[in-house]
Structure 1
Amino acid sequence: MNLSIVYALCAAALFGASTPLAKHFGLGLSPILLAGLLYLGSGLGLGMVRLIRDRGWQHSGLTPHEWPWLLGAILFGGILGPVALMYGLTRTAAATASLMLNLESVLTAVIAWLVFRENADRRIVLGMIAIVLGGVVLSWSDGAGASHDWTGPLAVALACLCWGIDNNLTRKVSASDAVFIAGIKGLIAGLVNTGLAVYLGAQWPATAQLMPILLVGFLGYSISLVLFVLALRGLGSARTGAYFSTAPFLGAALAVLAMGESVSIAFWVASALMAVGVWLHLTERHAHEHQHEATEHGHRHVHDEHHQHEHAFDWDPNEPHSHVHVHSPIKHSHAHFPDVHHRHRH
């Protein structure tokens, strides 16, 4: 299995588990404060990880033209999206929220296809439909008959739109250090939303409530986002979003395994639909002659057919290494995903 697919599915599992946990631990808190604390836990945790990993503060590796993409991703995905979701969770049943969260993968794919012209094969479209239908079945079985005002679901839908924009903007910088990208997003978003909540008079939680929220933010937001960025690097926005849309199912599966909850027939129907969707994606083969234009970027790589360049420093040809490098134009044919080296038109 492609390692990028593993990253996407693990990211989905962590985020799927974080949503019910955030609602559980965040009872009584301001939605803005809860969103801020979740991302603050994400940013602080990854900041410490990066300092330990790099033995001090290191340059991000982002080029000047990549910063606007990252700042846009932070605005939509780190500030607006979480606030909209936390507000929506206060006015929406958990089942309805799970149903609405499936919109994220659809909106991510639509933006990728229509705005950024990312390729979509028939198997990817059919697989996404199967995965989303699985989420609908899983949520509908618990949400039938519930009545809510429209502000909650609309807020959750707005969060999905923000994250759809975020996913596509983050794809533009996915070749850079994933830990830095996720960490800086969490830190800025956490400080902005937490500061805004305190300014508006939100009540600060007790330590017994604060620590679990920070931990959920670290696991469900930061680690999940690092894995998501790694998946974007290898799969592109639409395919990563499709795998990530298994989050509601994976979250429910974790609850069943960890908490011993009983399951209904709808759970197994949803499992089958999502399994079909993932199978369609796993068995996709996309190959054709394509042209690589000259480009310059930096990321961890080995010297394969896409990386043939000189170095101004000593390096081990048998080990992956990272630096800013230039790709010369090349035309060839092979199976590929819309990864950081295959963002061409069809």
Structure 2
Amino acid sequence: MPLSSSPIWPGVPAALASALLFGASTPAAKLLLGAVDPWLLAAFLYLGAGLGLLMLQTGRRLGGAEPAEAPLRRADLPWLAAMVAVGGIAGPVLLMLGLTRSEASSAALLLNLEGLATMAIAWLWLREGVDRRLLLGAVAILAGAVVLSWRGAVGGGWGMLLIAGACLAWGIDNNLTRKLSSADPVRIATIKGIVAGSVDLALALVQGAALPAAALVLVAALIGLFGYGISLALYVMALRHLGAARAGAYFSTAPFVGAVVAVVLLGEPLSPQLVLAGGLMALGVWLHLTERHEHWHEHEALVHEHAHIHDEHHRHAHGPDAPPGEPHSHPHRHEPLRHKHPHFPDLHHRHTH
């Protein structure tokens, strides 16, 4: 089977690449924490993501390389506003408040709740299909993340509740983002970065944070571009092709990536924890990669807009105003269809089971 026609393409590579970039950004950002206020660092990471992507989009547009992606429509704005408010503002604020009241070891352990919250909401609210193999894979990945961050007993109090609240906010954010995954992922990441970064910057300045040297701001912005901006755009692409539960499971490998980068770049020791966590995560990813979800299912009539090629699910006719070439994006109609093939809960397979 050609890679382009495999059900894992391009969703799984996009999810793993997103986790790779975000995971690597954590130890990179850690190097700046001694010299940059945490609130300001969060602001520069988000602004670097948003403004960096905006410059890349402007350059592509001036060069005539307009992406074949669907634009954001007015109906998308409430979902976009909720996504930015919950994931870009509320989540970081809750995390910062929690970190001031908690031990770092306990906080690192609880941050793994984001993956669990993402998958639970996708399964319970969005009714994404899940079987025993998928569940075991998710448990293995999350168990690896727990092993990786475990430093002792978890404390209690408001700090832990605030951090858990941040993870819940990001879990909701990930599922809200799925609602927008048919639109241009780069534009979504750009808006979220600029808005969230601007709010974080205002909050930091109100608290009296001092601006660091310009060189540090530039380094933080570059880390944000790759670890937050490009990573988020890839994650939106993964949501489009995999659904929230599976994309969230693959993204839960990010702590392992961060730990490996810390070993290589920061000279941290290769611990038994890291080896065990890597084994558990590798098992979970293998269980997901070898999933074969196939059954007879029905597609109801549907009109929507997204980037597509003329595959089995896109046999529509074109009018004179249709964009040339493939992939392209335009509003199109899907006629009712009943068939059987391997699939994920992507844009065309969000049926109930």
Q: Same fold (TM over 0.5)?
A: yes
Report if the CA contact (8 A) 1:31-1:87 is conserved.
no
Bigger Cα displacement from structure 2, 321-330 vs 101-110: 321-330
* Residues 33 and 56 (structure 1), Cα distance of their counterparts in 2 relative to 1, 3 Å cut: farther
Report if the CA contact (8 A) 2:70-2:305 is conserved.
no
CA positional deviation for 1:167? 0.5
Kindly provide the amino acid, as one letter, of the partner of residue 195 in structure 1: A
What does 1:9-48 correspond to in 2, within 5 Å? Answer: 9-27=16-34, 29-48=36-55
Report if the CA contact (8 A) 2:106-2:155 is conserved.
no
Give the Cα–Cα distance (whole angstroms) in 2 for the partners of residues 18 and 123 of structure 1: 31
Give the Cα–Cα distance (whole angstroms) in 1 for the partners of residues 89 and 225 of structure 2: 16
Give the Cα–Cα distance (whole angstroms) in 2 for the partners of residues 321 and 97 of structure 1: 44
SS in 2 for 1:71: helix
Which residue number corresponds to residue 316 of structure 2?
Answer: 309
SS in 1 for 2:31: helix
- Asked if 1:191 corresponds to 2:198, the answer is yes
Identity of aligned residues (%): 54
Which residue number corresponds to residue 146 of structure 2?
Answer: 136
SS in 1 for 2:182: coil
Give the Cα–Cα distance (whole angstroms) in 1 for the partners of residues 156 and 63 of structure 2: 50
Unpaired segments of 5 or more residues in structure 2? 1-7
SS in 1 for 2:208: coil
SS in 2 for 1:262: coil
Report if the CA contact (8 A) 2:296-2:339 is conserved.
yes
Report if the CA contact (8 A) 2:308-2:329 is conserved.
yes
Kindly provide the amino acid, as one letter, of the partner of residue 115 in structure 1: W
Bigger Cα displacement from structure 2, 289-298 vs 90-99: 90-99
Which residue number corresponds to residue 127 of structure 1?
Answer: 137
CA positional deviation for 1:197? 2.5
In the alignment of these two chains, the number of paired residues is 342
Which residue number corresponds to residue 5 of structure 2?
Answer: none
Report if the CA contact (8 A) 1:26-1:213 is conserved.
no
Give the Cα–Cα distance (whole angstroms) in 2 for the partners of residues 314 and 166 of structure 1: 33
* Residues 96 and 85 (structure 1), Cα distance of their counterparts in 2 relative to 1, 3 Å cut: same
CA positional deviation for 1:91? 5.1
Q: Considering only aligned residues, what root-mean-square deviation do their CA atoms show, in Å?
A: 2.4
Give the Cα–Cα distance (whole angstroms) in 2 for the partners of residues 265 and 26 of structure 1: 27
SS in 2 for 1:325: strand
The one of 233, 237, 240 equivalent to 1:226 is 233
CA positional deviation for 1:159? 1.9
The one of 81, 89, 102 equivalent to 2:91 is 81
- Asked if 1:51 corresponds to 2:58, the answer is yes
CA positional deviation for 1:165? 0.5
* Residues 28 and 257 (structure 1), Cα distance of their counterparts in 2 relative to 1, 3 Å cut: closer
Output one character per residue of 1:11-42: Cα deviation in whole Å (capped at 9) or x when no partner.
11221222333343133655443322211111
- Asked if 1:265 corresponds to 2:277, the answer is no
CA positional deviation for 1:299? 1.7
The one of 101, 104, 112 equivalent to 2:114 is 104
Output one character per residue of 1:143-195: Cα deviation in whole Å (capped at 9) or x when no partner.
137x8674444333222111100100000111111100101110111112212
Give the Cα–Cα distance (whole angstroms) in 2 for the partners of residues 129 and 89 of structure 1: 26
SS in 1 for 2:307: strand
Report if the CA contact (8 A) 1:31-1:83 is conserved.
no
* Residues 20 and 257 (structure 1), Cα distance of their counterparts in 2 relative to 1, 3 Å cut: closer
Give the Cα–Cα distance (whole angstroms) in 1 for the partners of residues 215 and 160 of structure 2: 30
Unpaired segments of 5 or more residues in structure 1? none
The one of 62, 72, 86 equivalent to 1:62 is 72
* Residues 95 and 219 (structure 1), Cα distance of their counterparts in 2 relative to 1, 3 Å cut: farther
* Residues 149 and 314 (structure 1), Cα distance of their counterparts in 2 relative to 1, 3 Å cut: closer
SS in 2 for 1:256: helix
* Residues 165 and 56 (structure 1), Cα distance of their counterparts in 2 relative to 1, 3 Å cut: farther
The one of 191, 212, 215 equivalent to 1:205 is 212
Which residue number corresponds to residue 4 of structure 2?
Answer: none
Kindly provide the amino acid, as one letter, of the partner of residue 26 in structure 2: T
Give the Cα–Cα distance (whole angstroms) in 1 for the partners of residues 257 and 96 of structure 2: 20
* Residues 209 and 148 (structure 1), Cα distance of their counterparts in 2 relative to 1, 3 Å cut: farther
- Asked if 1:161 corresponds to 2:168, the answer is yes
* Residues 298 and 19 (structure 1), Cα distance of their counterparts in 2 relative to 1, 3 Å cut: same
Taking structure 2 as the reference length, the TM-score comes to: 0.89
* Residues 75 and 326 (structure 1), Cα distance of their counterparts in 2 relative to 1, 3 Å cut: same
* Residues 95 and 220 (structure 1), Cα distance of their counterparts in 2 relative to 1, 3 Å cut: farther
* Residues 263 and 136 (structure 1), Cα distance of their counterparts in 2 relative to 1, 3 Å cut: same
CA positional deviation for 1:2? 3.0
Kindly provide the amino acid, as one letter, of the partner of residue 324 in structure 1: P
Give the Cα–Cα distance (whole angstroms) in 2 for the partners of residues 111 and 8 of structure 1: 18
Give the Cα–Cα distance (whole angstroms) in 2 for the partners of residues 53 and 247 of structure 1: 29
